[in-house]
Structure 1
């Protein structure tokens, strides 16, 4: 491994170009459990440290904190809205098309950032709907999850609902950044519905420099069988990028892993983040601790050798951090022989 001393200089994460022409930073801040003032300050710290990609969700209950912190940094002149890539998610209770628009509106209102860069389906398994504000993990009298029969394939219908809301309520059409009529058609084909000739004529007449965003959905992968697996993936037509969520779990019973850490040069977490980036994954480590937020962003002044990557690949501990075993009884559970 090449060794470099850490510096305090802020370095922005490189980006990957998505199929719609927009750029997504390869490093983001995971905001799960980042709530109240602690959460707001953590997100502000992240902006100052160079983060431009922020991952939240309706279920996290902190969209308001994320929006508040980012609006404050925009007001300071630290960043512009277009510099940021903000992700939130449709929760499992809201998969039915009848609930999607309200759920989306609530996320828009909570964030209050003009638009959302990426709107994901949190999981491909639906839960029973009991309201938008409570019972987000609905259970029966025995404590078992109550599922919904709404199939994840309704994500396409959800896309129609959101697109309708964008056009009719906000006057925004999700078009690619470098759009032309064919690219607009490709983008809309994601949702499998037909526009009238008048609609097509209107779309083709749009100013293609208008800032807007497509809302795309995930096929979530839960195969955390070994050290190198990722937790989720999302597809942008032919462009597929993995999202590696760094879990807050102490590996090897809290001991430092062999070959990692490099003494005082790089921390274990930095090596793991760099490892995922070099694997081509988008990494969103989470923390509310200022020093860790800054440290986790300091991963662009070194590279891993092929030998380093091979050594980390070999650290298979057959572990799985998010097994979701309580979802195996869902009628649409995707794994017929899930030993977990």
Structure 2
């Protein structure tokens, strides 16, 4: 799995195919998608165009997707994985994650897809499907060649340890919110101990959440004195500093950009090294600010409580 990938969250349907195609042209090989993003067919169109034109072969790409909360029951996992694979026009995912350790009532894709968090009545409807059932259905994807690796997202240490009690295939990857305002060192240390790779999303902190009115009034990391000072020292952009802070510590990142120059800058962000003192100064910005918290949607799904 490449350390620097391209995230498909919030990439609009109208631009997604071209954005993915251009990202491949720029050198990206890891694409991080999800059923909930609602743009997998368009992402697949961009990927297939690049393959057809000979820019890449399928085996050159690392494609990640995620199982949404409404499809956690054993009978739904494989059906949805196949549906998502069909969107991409591929036979298997390189990595398939459980998007959240939250089981919601099933919504028929023919009725609404992606179903998002709410039922037709605008309320959250829970479903009593244990994670063990979901994980064992995920393992069947590996056995049948539909996913080469499986993993978790938005999960804490206690849940990871529980999965390991019954897993035939342990999680290969944990994807978490990770930025200097939410460093999560104990969780990352646990994953390192357990040989679970970590991917961090929302590497720029509040920047990703401004348009959703979820920025919590936090100072933008891209404008923070600590980040801009380090950026000036290395003659790099603040975004490159934030990405390198993660990748230099072995954490994969999946930023997105519709700007060709920033696309290239993000991909080149591993071409220099920060000092240990710089890494520590950036990590010291931690305030345990979490921008993606399902508990604010419904207190019954406060998985980070």
- CA contact under 8 A between 2:104 and 2:126: conserved in structure 1? yes
- Name which one, 1 or 2, has greater alpha-carbon Rg: 1
CA displacement, residues 274-311 of structure 1 (integer Å, 9 cap, x when unaligned): 00001211111122332322221121221101111111
SS in 2 for 1:51: coil
Structure 2 gap segments, 5+ residues each? 150-164, 211-217
Structure 1 residue corresponding to 2:116, chosen from 101, 116, 136: 136
1:228 aligns with 2:198: no
Q: Which has the higher contact order (CA 8 A, sep 6+)?
A: 1
Query: Which runs of 5 or more residues in structure 1 are unaligned?
Result: 1-23, 176-188, 193-213
User: For the Cα contact (< 8 Å) 1:73–1:79, is it kept in 2?
Assistant: yes
Instruction: From 67, 70, 83, give the equivalent of 2:60.
Output: 83
SS of the aligned residue for 1:43 comes to: helix
Deviation track 1:210-255 (CA, whole Å, cap 9, x = no partner) reads xxxx99576665788934248x989799421111112514751577
Summarize the Cα distance change of 1:239–1:318 in structure 2 as closer, same or farther, 3 Å threshold.
Answer: closer
Give secondary structure in 1 for the equivalent of 2:82: helix
Instruction: Say if 1:306 and 1:281 are closer, same or farther in 2 by CA, change over 3 A.
Output: same
Aligned partners of 2:170, 2:109: CA distance in 1, in Å? Answer: 21
Which of 127, 131, 142 is equivalent to 1:148?
A: 127
Cα distance, 1:35 vs structure 2? 3.0
Cα drift, residue 152 of structure 1: 1.6
CA contact (8 A) 2:67 2:99 kept: yes
Q: Which moved more, 1:54-63 or 1:68-77?
A: 68-77
Equivalent of 1:103, from 80, 83, 86? Answer: 80
Distance in 2 separating the partners of 1:153 and 1:218: 17
1:1-340 maps to which residues of 2 (within 5 A)? 24-133=1-110, 134=112, 135-139=115-119, 141=121, 143-163=122-142, 166=144, 192=168, 226-229=181-184, 238-246=194-202, 247=205, 248-249=208-209, 252-253=219-220, 256-261=223-228, 262-263=231-232, 265-325=235-295, 326-330=297-301, 334=303, 338=305
Number of residues paired by the alignment? 270
Q: Post-superposition shift, 1:59?
A: 1.1
Corresponding residue SS for 1:25: coil
- Alpha-carbon distance in structure 2 between the residues aligned to 1:286 and 1:311: 25
Contact 2:78 2:141 in 1 (8 A): yes
Q: Secondary structure at the match of 1:252?
A: coil
SS at match of 2:75: helix
- Please report the RMSD computed on the Cα atoms of aligned residues, expressed in angstroms: 3.3
Distance 1:173 1:145, change over 3 A: closer
Residues 31-51 of structure 1: CA deviation (Å, up to 9, x unaligned):
012133411111112112211
TM-score, normalized by length of structure 1?
Answer: 0.69
Could you tell me whether the CA contact under 8 Å between 2:240 and 2:266 is conserved in 1? yes
Provide the secondary structure at the position in 2 that maps to 1:239: coil
Task: Tell me if structure 1 keeps the 8 A contact 2:19–2:258.
Answer: yes
Bigger fraction of residues in helix: 2
Distance 1:290 1:81, change over 3 A: same
- TM-score, L = length of structure 2: 0.76
SS in 2 for 1:88: strand
Q: 2:147, 2:99 → 1: CA distance?
A: 23
